[in-house]
Amino acid sequence: MASTDCNNENDALEDDPLTEDLLPTSNITFDKDKHVMYFKRCMAYLPEPYTNNDTNRMTLAFFGLGGLDLLNMIETIYSAEQREQWIDWIYAQQILPDKDNPGKLLNTLLRSNVPRLKFQSLRPWLELNRHICGFRGSPFSGLPYSREGCRESRFPFDAAHLAMTYTALCSLLILGDDFSRIDRGAIINGLTYLQKDDGSFTQTYHGMESDMRFLYCACAISYMLKDFSGINIEKCVDYIRRSQGYDYGIGQKPGLESHGGSTYCAISALSLLNKIDEGLISKDRTIFWLLSRQVSGFQGRANKPEDTCYSFWIGASLKPSFDLKILGAFDYIDKEANRLFLSTTQGRQGGFSKWPDLIPDIMHAYMGIAGLSLMDEPGMSTLDCALNISRKARQNLENSVFWQGD
Amino acid sequence: MHGRRRVKSTAEAERARREKEAVKIQEYRQLVENCFRMEIGCCPQRSNHEYTQNAFEITTKILWQNPDFYTIWNFRRNILIHGLLKDAPEDQRQGLLSEELVFLQEIFQSNPKSYWIFNHRRWCLETMPIPDWKKELYLVEKMLELDARNFHGWDYRRYVKSKLVNSMQPKELLQTDLDFTKKKLEQNFSNYSAWHQRSKLLPHLLSDASEDERKRLIDEEFGIAKSAIYTDPDDQSAWLYYWWLLGREPHHTSVRDDSIHEESSMALATVKGDRSTILAGEIEELKELLEEESNSKWCLQTLMHFYQELKYAKKLDDSELYNLDNEMEEICVRLIKIDSMRARRYEDIRNNLN
């Protein structure tokens, strides 16, 4: 959105260490075109250092698509055909109920109010692959590509992953899909296998990580599919309550220190469940904790350095969502200081890095854009804070099959 | 991906780097393919599995490059359970799993925040015949010395401690913790993780202690907090811990019990005198500190917080209320200047005063 002339001048000034301090903050511009190019490059190719994130490819795709969506460039850059191809790729990662699964009747019985004790232990055996339904992160398990998804149960470790299901749904909305090929029942049923007694969720069936991130994913998935029957809401709220620390910030799990990321996950989950007042012990004190994270940009924990991504995690915790009031204290932050910090982590060829002078990565690039969008940066779309998607994608959600005439 | 330094490079160097990367990617892909073939075979009945040393070594190679590939950890455990450890005598199992721990230590060096490494470590210790939990505690504390804020490490430490519960007296265990966190704080008062740990320990300690013991513990705790505050009045960790020690009046809007409040009110319940007297005493001390450190934002915020608590703790008459509000207004004015980043919040508070 900024003119090229203005940018060249700023670039020259930025490179000269003597004038760095003299840059008036209102002259800070964010080069939208460079960011668009950065995301475009990432969507085409991610270099070797990303290899160890291949199982998380769905989330990387979400960062790329989300960034371009907030920059209002999805339909400009990508043809309808390309978007369809991507929608197909996403659906190809959907693990659907095995064709040999017991039929609807048995499934209803398993989920009914009939004394469940003797059925519970039989469930995994009877349900074949129902415990792993949802989306995986990439074709890492080597199954043949099919836009219809897959109905195999052969691969014991080919399981859906909560964060991949969440980002798959978001990405589909960004690309304009209406969820007509989603097997809602299978996904919601899959959630029932993932919640632990303490209320938290593991990321996959028999997974070993369980913390606030996956609790958020489970709530967001339920919200987007308009079906909360797969999660125990009381236990979710209880887990969040117990994860609050003496400083009223929220940790990844009970006993862990308060952290910006987990605080966002908890607050957003509570607002999607409409349980903010039950879940937060003191809204006031949590707001205070969040505001105290601002150094210039934001830090994730007390006495740690600022990091681009917390402009999103902390900012989105403070800002009200469209129809869901979160905490509503975003206007208390110092926007100019935040912008100043983000200008120092902006990459010369677009994207953002965690700290100044590092190579940008796709996650921080998205977070930087999202952080700017929260501050109503010109040329950017508004963000739905609780779901972390654009207003347009949110509109697509409201037009999706589960929200229309249920 | 995260945190890589920017380095200038020529087109030549770029090309060479890409070629090298392409080879690495190809090798990695081949390894993964071999691995999957061995584990799954072609048969749904899984009779073609190769739970062999060869398969095991392939998983090692993959995990060196990508410890976040969780599927491969699952394979590795299967190879151990159904192959290498199966029917093995106790000392062989002990040996193999001890080697696993060494392997984990090695890959941990470059991946200190990988959940999977910690998880596999837990599995090994829970599977081996004779786990050495004391050694494990020593190891994790060494790790926390290198990175005191690594919350994976703190979480793992709590897990290891829970395993020591059977071999150590609960009191002994709590004391070890207190000593450890105290040491961390002495090294660096900014150690938020250490304060956080203490806030979880203290209620447990207090619940079993005698009246005198409790008084001693609370006094000591206040001592540590104040020592930190006076050493560095700008460090928020100690201040927030101090706030927690003083507790909170139950005036929140939540429906259920305030568990955090309960924890700290246990602290205060043992101190003689009612809460408003205690608050008044602390307020006097803070005012003295403020004379020396007039620009301490945290000192001012704490004063304001205590004034607020005083309002809730005690029924004040009109003139007392008026004076209190005046003091709070003055603090707001000072904070707007000193902590301009949060000016709007202070303005809001000021406007809400009577």
Two structure tokens written together for A331: 């206007």
Handedness of CA A149, A152, A154, A156 (dihedral sign): positive
The DSSP result for A325-364, as a single string, is -----GGGS-HHHHHHHHHHHB-TTS-B-SSTTB--BHHH
Tell me whether A281 touches chain B (CB under 8 Å).
Answer: yes
Q: Which residue has the higher pLDDT, A395 or B207?
A: A395
* Min distance A69 CA to chain B CA atoms (Å): 23
Question: Please, which pLDDT band fits residue B172 given cuts at 50, 70 and 90?
Answer: confident
Interface of A with B in 68-127 (CB under 8 A): none
For chain B, counts of helices (H) and of strands (E) = 16, 0
Closest to A167 in 3D by CA, of A132, A137, A207: A137
3-state secondary structure of A202: strand
Distance CA A33, CA A36 (A): 5
The pLDDT value recorded for residue A11 is 40
pLDDT for residue A62? 98
Q: Check if the beta carbon of residue A142 is closer than 8 Å to that of residue B38.
A: no
pLDDT score for B40: 58
User: Nearest-CA distance from B5 to chain A in Å?
Assistant: 4
If one compares B140 and A5, the residue with the highest pLDDT of the two is B140
Strand-pair category, A201-202 with A383-384: unpaired
Q: Which of residues 175-234 of A touch B (CB under 8 A)?
A: 204, 207-209
Whether A253 sits inside 8 A of B68 (CB atoms) is no
What b/e readout covers A78-103, taking b as 16+ CB neighbours within 10 angstroms?
beeeebeebbebbbbbbbbbbeebee
Q: Which residue has the higher pLDDT, A190 or B10?
A: A190
pLDDT at B2: 57
Statement: residue B43 has pLDDT above 60: no
Residue B116 has pLDDT above 50, yes or no: yes
At residue B271, the pLDDT reads: 54
Residue carrying structure tokens 């990988």:
B114
Across the interface, of A53, A245, A357, the residue whose CB is closest to B6 is A357
Average per-residue pLDDT in chain B? Answer: 82
Cα-based distances in Å from A45 to A38, A40, A365: 11, 9, 15
pLDDT values of chain A reduced to their tens digit, one per residue, 406 residues: 333 333 333 343 334 443 344 444 557 889 999 999 999 999 999 988 898 888 899 999 999 999 999 999 999 999 999 999 999 999 999 999 887 666 555 656 656 655 554 555 555 555 667 888 999 999 887 788 899 888 876 555 678 999 999 999 999 999 999 999 999 999 999 999 999 999 999 999 877 789 999 999 999 999 999 999 999 999 999 999 999 988 999 999 998 889 999 999 999 999 999 999 899 988 888 999 999 999 999 999 988 899 999 999 999 999 876 555 566 789 889 999 999 999 999 999 999 999 999 999 999 999 999 999 999 999 999 999 999 999 999 999 999 999 996 5
If DSSP codes are grouped into helix, strand and coil, which group holds residue A383? strand
* pLDDT score recorded for residue A79: 97
Write out the H or E segment, with its range, that includes residue B313.
helix B297-313
Residue A174, token pair as written in the block: 């960004």
Cα distances from A357 to residues A42, A351, B7, in angstroms, run: 19, 12, 10
| Domain positions in chain A | 9-399
A333: which chain B residues are within 8 Å (Cβ-Cβ)? 341
Contact by Cβ (8 Å): A350, A316: no
Q: pLDDT, tens digit, for every residue of B326-339?
A: 999 999 999 999 99
DSSP secondary structure code for residue A294 in this structure: B
- The amino acid sitting at A132 is I
Phi (first) and psi of residue A121, to 5 degrees: -70, -25
User: Of the given ranges (A227-231, B25-29, B171-175, B259-263), which has the lowest mean pLDDT?
Assistant: B259-263
Query: Chain A partners of B237 at a C-beta cutoff of 8 Å?
Result: 302-303
Closest-CA residue to A62 (of A88, A42, A85): A42
ipTM: 0.74
Nearest to A301 among B192, B248, B345 (CB): B192
CB A153 within 8 A of CB A129: yes
Q: What are phi and psi of A3, to 5 degrees?
A: -75, 155
Tell me how far apart the alpha carbons of residues A25 and A22 are, in angstroms, rounded to a whole number: 9
Q: Which pLDDT score, from 0 to 100, does residue B262 have?
A: 60
A335 sits in the region (left: phi over 0; alpha: psi -120 to 50; else beta) called alpha
Strand partners, A244: A250
In order of A39, B50, B216, the CA distances from A81 in angstroms are 19, 43, 73
CA distance A250 to A267: 9
State how far the Cα of B336 lies from the Cα of B179, in Å rounded to an integer.
Answer: 40
State the average pLDDT over residues B243-247: 84
Most distant pair of Cα atoms in chain B: their distance = 86
What is the Cα–Cα distance from A314 to A311, expressed in whole angstroms? 6
- Residue A244: what pLDDT? 92
- Cβ neighbours for B208, distance < 8 A, ≥ 6 positions apart: B170, B171
Average pLDDT for B208-234: 85
- Residue A14 is predicted with a pLDDT of 39
Question: Tell me, what's the pLDDT at A7?
Answer: 37
Two structure tokens written together for B214: 């409790």
**Half-sphere exposure of residue A336: CA atoms within 13 angstroms, side-chain side:** 9
CATH class of residue range A9-399: mainly alpha
**CA–CA separation, A396 vs B61, rounded Å?**
44
For residue B102, pLDDT beyond 80: yes
- Tens of pLDDT, residues B52-80: 888 899 999 999 988 888 778 888 998 99
Is the model more confident about B309 or about A64? A64
Query: In angstroms, rounded to a whole number, what is the distance separating the alpha carbons of residues B164 and B172?
Result: 10
Name the region of B3 (left: φ>0; alpha: ψ -120 to 50; beta: rest).
Answer: left
In degrees rounded to 5, what are phi and psi of residue A184? -60, -45
The CA-based angle A221-A206-B57, given to 5 degrees, is 125
Q: Is A337 on the interface with B (CB under 8 A)?
A: yes
- In whole angstroms, how large is the CA radius of gyration of chain A? 22
B25, closest residue in chain A (CA to CA): A48
- Smallest Cα distance from A35 to chain B, Å: 17
Give the residue among A193, A326, A324 at the shortest CA–CA distance from A266. A326
Residue with tokens 């989306």: A135
Beta carbons within 10 angstroms of residue B303's beta carbon: 23
Residues of chain B neighbouring A277 (CB-CB closer than 8 A) = 253-255
C-alpha pair distances (Å), A273 with each of A132, A320, A386: 24, 15, 10
What number of CA atoms fall less than 13 Å from residue A288's CA on the CB side? 17
Tokens of B330: 């003055």
Residue contact B151–A282, C-beta within 8 A: no
Counting Cα atoms < 13 Å in the Cβ hemisphere of B222 gives 16
H-helix segments, A32-161: 32-44, 57-70, 74-77, 80-92, 104-110, 117-120, 123-126
Q: What angle do CA A225, A226, A229 make, to 5 degrees?
A: 100
C-alpha span between B71 and A85 (Å, rounded): 27
Of B75, B154, B195, the CB nearest to A256: B154
Spatial separation of the C-alpha atoms in residues B121 and B76, rounded to whole Å: 13
Q: A285 by DSSP, 3-state: which? A: helix
Give kind and range of the element (H or E) at residue B140: helix B133-146
Is residue B191 pLDDT above 80, yes or no? no
The per-residue pLDDT for B18 is 81
Q: And the tokens for B52?
A: 């062999």
